[in-house]
Amino acid sequence: MSDLFRLDGKVVAVIGAGSGIGEAVAIGAARQGASAVACFDVNEPAVAAVAGGIRDTGVATSHGALDIADERAVESALGACVDTHGRLDAVVCTPAINVRKPILKYSGEEFDRVVRVNLRGNFNVLQSAGRILTRQRSGSIVLVSSIRSLVTEPGQSVYSMSKAGIVQLVRTAATEWAVDGVRVNALGPGVVETPLTAQIKNDAAWYDAYAKKNPMQRWAQPSEMVGPTLFLLSDAASYVTGTILFADGGWLAADGRFTPPGM
């Protein structure tokens, strides 16, 4: 049964591989037997270092700088992946940005900036990957949503909206491409220690409040998102499409943190 979770012979493209969840997933895909891992990130030096580390383990790699909000650049990057490695079997897209502000203080420019990356960027990846995978009639795509697709808090309006939108993009693509053998799913992380959440980690009260809200009483590490993501890419998830897999430490299951006496 363990073979179901392997990625042997698969070419995997990871966008956002320069740090955080993307870096962990790229390394994890190599360790699970991927024949090649194509690494992309807006930070070229960072992604080059990650790709170099994977290459040192004997797994074929390629890498490049990529802004997912640039439609033509995304199409070119994934096309180059096919040219370099001969095919493309799986695509993971992790980048996102957040501007934490109350709705009444949000500027139009800030709104556009978040939506440009989180929605337009993910749409660009989904569309470009979909063109390739539907032609070859196989493959898996994983976009990264969040617990914020279902629950939110003050200051998270546009980010939450964008993460809910990713789920609907995934569901729609899954219904359109299932007949072509292409599966599309979303990962729904809880609170994970990544560059995106560095602002929170630097505020002890804020960081601890999130940990206490979680039934596990802690944050996740990027490495803990690897298993759920690679499951969705693997043959073990051959009948899984159009859904979101939450890896949130029980965040969405908890309604308050008071434990009644005697429990």
| Residues recognised as catalytic | 159
What is the side-by-side strand order in the sheet with 182-189? 60-65, 36-41, 11-15, 90-93, 139-144, 182-189, 244-247
Sign of the Cα pseudo-torsion (237, 240, 245, 250, in order): negative
Question: Which pair of structure tokens corresponds to residue 126?
Answer: 């989904």
Q: Is 41 exposed, middle or buried (0-12, 13-18, 19+ CB in 10 A)?
A: buried
Cα 20 to Cα 14: distance, rounded to the nearest angstrom: 12
Contacts of 251 (CB under 8 A, 6+ apart): 147, 151, 190, 191, 213, 214, 215
- Strand extents, DSSP E, 110-176: 139-144
38 three-state secondary structure:
strand
* Core vs surface per residue 179-203: b (16+ CB within 10 A) or e: eeebbbbbbbbbbbbbebbeebeee
Q: How many CB atoms neighbour CB 168 within 10 A?
A: 12
Cα 162 to Cα 96: distance, rounded to the nearest angstrom: 9
Type of residue at 215 = P
